């Protein structure tokens, strides 16, 4: 089970980093890669079955230090990957 959590965390960070690199012309790619890698401390909070999904201080500090364009670019890219991969669109019940 621990392996699955570690794998999910790595996958989450890689997805965000790749998304920022592909869609972030307004901010430097390396800046986004570094910023989004720092967000890894928040990954356990978004995994299915998280016991306490409220962000801890480390997550809040990482979020505050992250360029908002990097986060938005990563989220926008993640929603477009489904079409590129011929998968159903993401519908998480939120609007960005």
What SS3 state is found at 89? coil
Q: Taking a C-beta distance cutoff of 8 angstroms, is the pair 17, 33 a contact?
A: yes
- Note the pLDDT of residue 44: 85
pLDDT band at 58 (very low <50, low <70, confident <90, very high): very high
Q: Which residues contact 55 (CB under 8 A, 6 or more apart)?
A: 42, 45, 63
User: In the predicted model, what is the mean pLDDT of residues 5-23?
Assistant: 56
H/E element, 36: helix 29-38
């Amino acid at each position: 089970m621990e392996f699955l959590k570690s794998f999910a965390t790595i996958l989450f960070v890689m997805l965000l980093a790749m998304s920022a690199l592909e869609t972030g012309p307004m901010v430097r790619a390396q800046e986004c890669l570094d910023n989004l890698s720092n967000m890894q401390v928040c990954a356990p909070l978004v995994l299915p079955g998280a016991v306490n999904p409220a962000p801890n201080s480390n997550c809040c500090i990482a979020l505050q230090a992250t360029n908002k364009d990097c986060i938005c670019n990563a989220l926008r890219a993640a929603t477009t990957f489904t079409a590129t991969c011929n998968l159903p669109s993401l519908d998480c019940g939120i609007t960005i």
